[in-house]
Structure 1
């Protein structure tokens, strides 16, 4: 028989690639920037390397691979990314229906992201979700000074809502985020709208491919 779980008392969403379809845009910017700095790669390779990481982590990894990055590069690539995202980024299909269901069942939800609040202001703001989550239900690694795969970001969210880790559900799309959830002792659903999600499963996630599946996975 399949494992059954109690309904979560808090749902914690990653932002990029879970709530908003921003990863292709951000990684296209990364590819174009790194090409100018001596490190050519495809968007697919960029997503393999950088999805789920902080920008400082991405910088260190790119330098290790041969990019010639200068001091101030992080501010530069943030500015380029924000400009591209302002041109338009869509919500992931099914997100609003899922949020409406959680509201109807009176299950609180929040966002915990390795991205900056400025980035979330752009992506969530143009989709009418910034006001929903900010500031009381938004946890940014840049603001809190702790980033996934450290579990501290998720544990801070749970503490804020007064919910035990075992009663939380995390929705993630990166192995880094899944590892953070596992380390926090939280159940994690790994969102893989394309591909098999084996990298997510390897870190302990239950893989799903469409937001419409979440209701059944959490007993709603």
Structure 2
């Protein structure tokens, strides 16, 4: 039996990535880099913001020194207009509570962004004290530090990670943790190749966890 469930945030708890990608497309276009939303998703999903900045510059974007702050502000403004929960997440969290299985969130995103996305969906109070962020730890996925730190804090011996990105799956495997890879579009070959057990709906998770 697993004694901790570690959720990624964007794309796993909240369906924020399409909105963030729209902001990224518009922002990069202003700075001389033309990418589609699909290209942004493929290249940048799961990256830390310093990594996104470096890659974009390598691709030709003329980004200002304060670009991360600029992009975060634009993204927060867009997300405040409304971002939905991933279908089935609320029911899954209720079940974990009922079974007495603790859970937390570990994200390359910052706490301020998670306050926006989780707060408007009534989840902030459930995660605010069990939140692990690359912004605060100083290191992000695919480094396993975030997951290992969470497991230590909970004294968990059998944690499981739920992820949707290659960097997140890689971090989980490097931490020697079981990883469930959420791929709602069914295109899970990459995550499976990296070591994740692929699923397409949150309703599948209880059976995968044996609860």
**TM-score strictly above 0.5:** yes
What does residue 170 of structure 2 align with? Answer: 179
User: How big is the shift at 1:194?
Assistant: 1.0
1:67 matched to 2:58: no
Q: How does 1:53-202 map to 2 (within 5 A)?
A: 53-135=47-129, 137-164=130-157, 167-202=158-193
Distance in 2 (CA, whole Å) between partners of 1:140 and 1:32 is: 26
Distance in 2 (CA, whole Å) between partners of 1:142 and 1:73 is: 15
1:44-69 per-position Cα deviation (integer Å, ceiling 9, x unaligned): 11000111011111000101111111
Alignment root-mean-square deviation, CA: 0.7
1:72-91 per-position Cα deviation (integer Å, ceiling 9, x unaligned): 01110110000000000000
User: How big is the shift at 1:195?
Assistant: 3.7
Q: TM-score, normalised by structure 1?
A: 0.95
1:52 matched to 2:52: no
Structure 2 unmatched runs, 5+: none
1:18 matched to 2:12: yes
Q: TM-score, normalised by structure 2?
A: 0.99
Distance in 2 (CA, whole Å) between partners of 1:72 and 1:154 is: 29
Moved over 4 A (4+): none
User: How big is the shift at 1:211?
Assistant: 0.1
Distance in 2 (CA, whole Å) between partners of 1:197 and 1:22 is: 19
1:94-145 per-position Cα deviation (integer Å, ceiling 9, x unaligned): 001100111111000000000000000000000010111112x111110111
Distance in 2 (CA, whole Å) between partners of 1:216 and 1:195 is: 18
Secondary structure of residue in 1 paired with 2:181? strand
Distance in 2 (CA, whole Å) between partners of 1:132 and 1:111 is: 10
Aligned residues: 211
